[in-house]
């Protein structure tokens, strides 16, 4: 295997001192992710220090460590490990000769990132690097960059934030040729104070654009013009996606036999008809964003369309499980990773379109970081629940009480304190032919409910 980094390259990038020559094939700061040949980055922490896990990393096959104090193993010694990781990230970006795409947004950024990477991978197998999981913050982005193979044709990087200025720092490292904003919604409004401030924070991604770069903006947002104004200062080309007068828009979109959508999209130079494996109107929008980015990168649009048709659900973001219950099966839709008002409404609409033999149920967890807007935002989900014809709702967390009150007698609902109680409540209600949506902010822990209920259940892609 070609070395990802040599000890000399790491030392040159970080200004560190090498204990002995070595080569590494991967990079991680999580000892649970170590594989043979990896560089273990001993990050400091408020609870634990990465240096304390070097022995474990070596036992799992780590070839060397990046450290701030001498250790008895191959290493590069630096004054500041986080700063060294950022320096290694910048070195990885500097040696990248392909196309780099960056994306952010309040809703759909991880799903869109995965779909975009799959679309590019279709024609360039093994040559597309992407940030994994939701490694999109001040440590995750430099790690993702440091992991990028030197011969990558494309790099796809997700950037997140919960305060102003965070994306500005991340995009300066990523330096994308194409920068995409998926959507603007009241996520992190507790910290940012207003929707306008959220849009401004997301628009920071355009500041890192390479000369001649392309900005891609959602057309279906009240903050479109605000984003356009920001993009004009940094982008040579601006594309909008969505409905209305968007450059990239759906001529028509109908439900497909597989539960997803059949879409004909109008692009800049042609029309493309394709299917989307994932159900829901929000995935039509995601797919248009993907196609806009693929076109901006000069990649193969037909291959991208095929990839969208093959893409299965992501864990916590639409993965679907068939759960055995009392002589039959129920469908569990796992949207447990994160939630905000926009994504809640979108997935509830998808649930309402789901053909069922039994009932539609929903387990909805508290949406975090809404601050003073929390009560209004939670209560505001009531119309979407009614329109989706949800037969019964399990609400998780005291912050869901305004929604319980807003539903009144229209929809049977129960309020429970945590994921464990929600699991018990769901087992009591789930029957053959039912479809249940599980969604909430990650901190509520509904992934545990999914794990326990799905158990050994079969997973399906659509």
108 marked as binding residue: yes
Question: What secondary structure letter does DSSP report for 234?
Answer: T
Q: Are strands 75-77 and 17-18 parallel, antiparallel or unpaired?
A: antiparallel
Q: Given this model, what pLDDT does residue 394 score?
A: 97
The sign one gets for the Cα dihedral 354, 356, 360, 365 is negative
Annotated binding residue at 110? yes
| 319-456 CATH | 3.90.190.20
**Six token digits for residue 242:** 């969505």
Q: Does domain 5-80 have CATH number 3.40.1390.10?
A: yes
H/E segment holding residue 274? strand 271-276
- Per DSSP, 80 falls in state -
**What is the β-pairing status of strands 413-416 and 392-396?**
parallel
Q: What is the CATH number of domain 96-310?
A: 3.40.1190.10
For 61, 85, 299, 427, the CA distances from 275, given in Å and listed in that order, are 43, 40, 19, 34
Can you give the residue ranges of every domain in the chain?
Answer: 5-80, 96-310, 319-456
Q: What is the DSSP letter of 123?
A: T
pTM: 0.78
Q: What is the predicted pLDDT for the residue at 156?
A: 98
Straight-line distance from the first to the last Cα atom of the chain, in angstroms, rounded to the nearest whole number: 35
Please tell me whether 408 is known to bind a ligand.
no
Q: How many angstroms separate the CA atoms of 216 and 224, rounded? A: 11
Residue 460's pLDDT is what? 46
Query: Alpha-carbon dihedral of residues 136, 140, 142, 148, nearest 10 degrees?
Result: -90
Residue pair 192/169 in contact (Cβ under 8 Å)? The answer is no
pLDDT for position 187: 67
- pLDDT score recorded for residue 188: 61
- Going along 131-192, which residue ranges are E strands? 154-158, 178-181
Classify burial at 32, counting beta carbons within 10 Å of its beta carbon; exposed 0-12, middle 13-18, buried 19 or more.
exposed
Which residue matches tokens 């539960």? 259
Chain centre to alpha carbon of residue 385: 24
- Tell me the pLDDT of the chain (462 aa) as tens digits: 689 999 999 999 999 999 999 999 999 999 999 999 999 999 998 788 999 999 999 999 999 999 999 999 999 999 999 999 999 999 999 999 999 999 999 888 888 999 999 999 999 999 999 998 778 899 999 999 999 999 999 999 999 987 889 999 999 999 999 999 999 887 667 767 788 999 999 999 999 999 999 999 999 999 999 999 999 999 999 999 999 899 999 999 988 877 788 999 999 978 999 999 888 888 899 999 999 999 999 999 999 999 999 887 667 778 889 999 988 999 999 989 888 888 899 889 889 988 899 999 999 999 988 888 899 999 999 999 999 999 999 999 999 999 999 999 999 999 999 999 999 999 999 999 999 999 999 889 999 999 999 874 444 444
- Give the model's pLDDT for residue 1: 63
């Amino acid at each position: 295997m070609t070395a990802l980094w040599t000890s000399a390259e790491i030392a040159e990038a970080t200004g560190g001192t090498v204990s002995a020559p070595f080569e590494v094939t991967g990079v991680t700061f999580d000892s649970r992710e170590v594989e043979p040949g990896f560089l273990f980055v001993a990050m400091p922490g408020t609870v634990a220090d990465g240096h304390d896990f070097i022995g474990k990393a070596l036992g799992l096959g780590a070839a060397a460590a990046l450290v701030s104090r001498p250790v008895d193993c191959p290493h590069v010694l630096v004054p500041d490990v986080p700063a060294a990781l950022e320096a290694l990230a910048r070195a990885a970006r500097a040696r990248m000769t392909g196309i780099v795409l960056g994306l952010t947004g309040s809703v759909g950024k991880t799903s869109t990132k995965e779909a975009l990477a799959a679309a590019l991978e279709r024609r360039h197998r093994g040559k597309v690097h992407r940030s994994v999981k939701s490694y999109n913050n001040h440590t995750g982005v430099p790690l993702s960059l440091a992991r990028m193979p030197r011969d990558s044709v494309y790099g796809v990087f997700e950037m997140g934030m919960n305060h102003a200025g965070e994306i500005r720092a991340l995009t300066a490292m990523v330096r994308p040729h194409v920068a995409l904003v998926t959507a603007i919604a009241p996520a992190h409004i507790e910290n940012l104070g207003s929707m306008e401030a959220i849009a401004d924070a997301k628009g920071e991604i355009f500041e890192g654009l390479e000369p001649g770069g392309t900005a891609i903006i959602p057309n279906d947002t009240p903050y479109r013009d605000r984003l356009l104004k920001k993009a004009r200062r940094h982008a040579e080309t601006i594309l909008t996606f969505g409905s209305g007068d968007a450059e990239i828009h759906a001529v028509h979109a109908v439900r497909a036999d597989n539960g997803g959508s059949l879409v004909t999209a109008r692009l800049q130079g042609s029309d493309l008809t394709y299917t989307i494996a994932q159900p829901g109107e929000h995935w039509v929008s995601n797919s248009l964003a993907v196609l806009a980015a693929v076109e901006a990168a000069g990649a193969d649009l037909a291959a991208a369309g095929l990839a969208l048709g093959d893409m299965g659900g992501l864990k916590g973001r639409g993965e679907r499980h068939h759960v055995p219950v009392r002589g039959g099966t129920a469908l569990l839709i796992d949207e447990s990773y994160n939630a905000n008002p926009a994504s809640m409404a979108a997935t509830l609409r998808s649930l309402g379109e789901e053909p069922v033999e039994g009932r539609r149920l929903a387990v909805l967890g508290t949406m975090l970081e809404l601050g003073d807007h929390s009560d209004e935002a939670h209560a505001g989900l009531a119309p979407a629940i009614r329109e989706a014809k949800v037969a019964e709702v399990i609400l998780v967390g005291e912050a869901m009480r305004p929604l319980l009150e807003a539903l009144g007698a229209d929809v049977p609902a129960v309020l429970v304190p945590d994921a464990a109680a929600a699991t018990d409540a769901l087992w009591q209600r789930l029957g053959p032919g039912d479809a249940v949506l599980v969604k909430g902010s990650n901190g509520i822990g509904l992934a545990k409910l999914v794990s326990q209920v799905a158990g050994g259940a079969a997973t399906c892609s659509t």
